Amino acid sequence: MRAVVVALGKIGLPLAAQLARTGHDVIGCDIDERVVADVNAAREPFPGEAELGAVLEAVVLGEGPGRLRATTDTTAAVAGGPDLVVLVPPLVVDAQARPDWAILDAVIADVGAGLQPGTTVALETTVPVGTTRARLAPALEAACGLTAGKDFHVVFSPERVLSGRVFADLATYPKLVGGLDAAGEARGAELYAQFLPEVEIRAMGGAEAAELTKLVETTYRDVNIALANEFARHADALGLDVQAVIDAANSQPFSHVHRPGVAVGGHCIPVYPRFYLAGDPGARLPRAARDVNEAMPSYAVDLLGDIAGQTVLILGVAYRGGVKEAAFSGAFGLREELVRRGARPVAADPLYDAGELAALGFDAWTGEPVEAAVLQADHAGYAALTPADLPGVRTVVDGRGVLDPAPFLRADIALRRIGRP
């Protein structure tokens, strides 16, 4: 088949590459000229995605079936009449996770301007329930003058992958497809099956069911992590090791408690429960879970004790280890709480240079002595940290449970771990 993938970010580009490496001709579209140039040169526009470099080389420069090329002209790409157009633009949100539709609406307008009869349009960006039917389809119809369900099909198929392991996840989890009608859903499922041959393609019986499924997945994780954080705080009060307790509870098949930690960050888990609550404002557990998880950076600072006048190092501004992305990172909550309590926060992250840290609002640590530190992101290298790496430090909060306590104990440094002695 011929396909167009719009928005070549950390989800869209691997998806485009997957289409091409399974034998299909793909045009990737992005407004960033640098990204387009990188893709056309078979260069990775961003680091850290397993297999991406090799796959790009094969599908951009190789001679086999399936080709990928990139362009900034979305309308022209869609006007070529592809079988499938996949939309993966970011849905930007504010601090309260309220959507700003500007980017998605611009993408829809560009796609609609070139949309041809016979094409199926699939939205993979996570959205509030009802978006596909009430926003996407009418906007496409208005832009192209065609009728959804008659001249073209529209489906929702939520991305279910994690940055850094997209190809592995695409080959592991069922692909969910929900359409505006039965015919469109069947066509969408047929097209996805052509480039995801290893997994079940599950028809959901409607776009709304597919949209809700994605929100259920992520809201469950948020609620589960909040419960783990509640257990951790109680374990601290009791002097018990919550991880030993959770591991014991999870040793039977009906308990699946997640791990506690200093923060829940990223584009997904802090955001999508808010999308769920927008459609179900009376729901109590998702709202309580958000409150619990958003309070964890403050709790981590509680473990430092009195820090007024001290310099405190935040280790890691990325929202999770190994990923250069700071969306809703716990580092922001830590910074605000440290300032509120009269401390001077500085930050370090192996994935960010001083200028990038400054752009995020952090003073970069230059190696000067600090009185305290909070480990916020579980970067692999942090597991080997010792007191020698943190000159002057007297108190360390390990917000991810990755540090070896022994060298800190030998140096008479207070090492505090959430939910663990």
The Cα 265–Cα 92 span in angstroms is 15
Catalytic option among 10, 144, 175, 268 = 268
How does 291-316 read in b/e, with b if 16+ C-beta sit within 10 Å? ebbbbbbebbbebbeebeebbbbbbb
Residues 6+ apart with CB under 8 A from 280: 286
Q: Is 29 a catalytic residue?
A: no
Give the separation between CA 374 and CA 381, rounded to whole angstroms.
15
Q: In the annotation, is 268 catalytic?
A: yes
Alpha carbon distance 212, 219 (integer Å): 10
- Residues 410 and 396: their CA atoms lie apart, in Å, by 14
> Which residues, 6+ apart, have CB-to-CB distance to 223 below 8 Å?
273, 285, 286, 289
Q: How far is residue 397's CA from residue 86's CA, in Å, rounded to a whole number?
A: 43
- The residue assigned the tokens 């640590």 is 365
Integer Cα distance of 304 and 293 in angstroms? 18
The answer to whether the beta carbons of residues 418 and 295 sit under 8 Å apart is no
Q: How far apart are the first and last CA of the chain?
A: 57
C-alpha closest to that of 157 among 184, 183, 117: 184
Residue with tokens 């640098």: 34
Strand partners, 407: none
> What does the block give as tokens for 70?
């990139």
Report how far residue 56's alpha carbon sits from residue 34's, in angstroms, rounded to the nearest whole number: 16
Residues forming the active site: 214, 268
